[in-house]
Amino acid sequence: MSPRVILKLGGSVVTSKGLSGAIDTRTIDAIAGEVARRPDVPLLLVHGAGSCGHPEAARYGITGGINANNRRGVGETHRAVRRLNDAVVTGLREHDVDAIGISPLGAYFIEDGDIVAATTEQLGVMIDLGIVPVLHGDVVMDRTRGASILSGDRLVRTLAPALGIQRVGLATDVAGVLSRDGEVIPNLTPGDLPSTTIKGSTFTDVTGGMAGKLSELVVLAREGVPSEIFHVSRIGDFLDGSPHGGTHIHGG
Ligand code: IPE
C-alpha cells in the first residue's frame, strides 16, 4: 500500500478570508476533484478555519480564556468551523470520495494550550479502509483556560507521528514560504529559521499565520518528519510526489 499522506488546506484557501463566513465552494470543488483522481493515496485531510472561526474566536476573546461572560464563543466558534467542515466533506463526497468530518472538540483535551489527551487510533483504521477523515482547526476544552484554539497546523504536527505519517503537505494561498521580497524559499531547516525573514499574513488569524505554521512544522522536522508548503493549485503535484514550486521543510 502507498504511504499515508496528510494534506492540510489552509483556512485562506477554503474561505474568502476577508469576508466573514464566506466559504469558497469553487476551490473546495477543485480540490475534491484532485483528491478523487488519486483514489490510491491513503489520505487524511485537515483544514483551517479562515473566515469561519477566526472572526468568532477573536470576537469572544477565546485565546484569553473562557468564563461565564464569553463561554458562548465556544459554541459559536465551533459551529462556524463545523459549517466549513460540512462544506468540505460535501464537496469531497460529491466527487465520490468517502470523506467523513471529524471534530477535535470531542477527541482532544488541552491543558494550558498543550494537548494532554487525544483519541486518534480510529483515524488509522479509516485511512486503511480508504475513508478520508477530514479534521479541522477547532476550539477545544482546556483544563486551565476553559477552552483553547487547537490549530490545524498543531493537529498536523501531532497526527503525523501518531499515525506514522511521513508525507505532510500544506496547501496555502501563496506559492510557499516567501522571503520579505516575495521569493519562494525552496528549503528550510529548523536551524535556518532564526536568520530568515518571512512575509506575514495580514488577515485576522488567532493562530499566528505563516509564522505560527512554521513553528509547528519545525517541531515536526526535528522529529524527523519533513513537510511541504505549496500553492493550492499544486495539490495534484504534491499528491503525485512531483515538483510543486513550494517550500520543503526538513531536519537538515
Ligand atoms: C484555527 O485553525 C481554528 C479556529 C480559529 C477555530 P487554523 O489556525 O488551522 O486555521 P487557518 O488555516 O489559520 O485559517
202 CA from centroid of ligand 1 (Å): 14
Q: Dump pLDDT digits (tens) for 40-58.
A: 999 999 999 999 999 999 9
| Spatial CA neighbour of 28 closest among 44, 52, 5, 11 | 11
Higher pLDDT, 209 or 241: 241
235 is written with which cell numbers?
495539490
pTM passes above 0.85: yes
- Name the DSSP class of 182: S
The residue contributing the CA closest to ligand 1 atom 3 is: 137
Give the burial class of 181: count Cβ atoms within 10 A of its Cβ; 0-12 exposed, 13-18 middle, 19 or more buried.
Answer: exposed
Q: Is 54 in the pocket of ligand 1 (CB under 6 A)?
A: yes
The neighbour count for residue 100, using CB atoms within 10 Å, is 14
Q: Which of 66, 203, 207 to mutate to test the pocket of ligand 1 (most atoms within 8 A of CB)?
A: 207
Q: Dump pLDDT digits (tens) for 79-90.
A: 999 999 999 999
139 CA from centroid of ligand 1 (Å): 9
Q: Is 177 in the pocket of ligand 1 (CB under 6 A)?
A: no
Q: Dump pLDDT digits (tens) for 62-114.
A: 999 999 999 999 999 999 999 999 999 999 999 999 999 999 999 999 999 99
Specify the amino acid at residue 243: P
Domains and CATH numbers, the chain: 5-249 (3.40.1160.10)
The residue contributing the CA closest to ligand 1 atom 5 is: 54
The neighbour count for residue 182, using CB atoms within 10 Å, is 9
- Collapse the DSSP code of 184 into the 3-class scheme (helix H, G, I; strand E, B; otherwise coil) and give the result: strand
Distance CA 97, CA 246 (A): 26
| Closest ligand 1 atom number to CA of residue 10 | 12
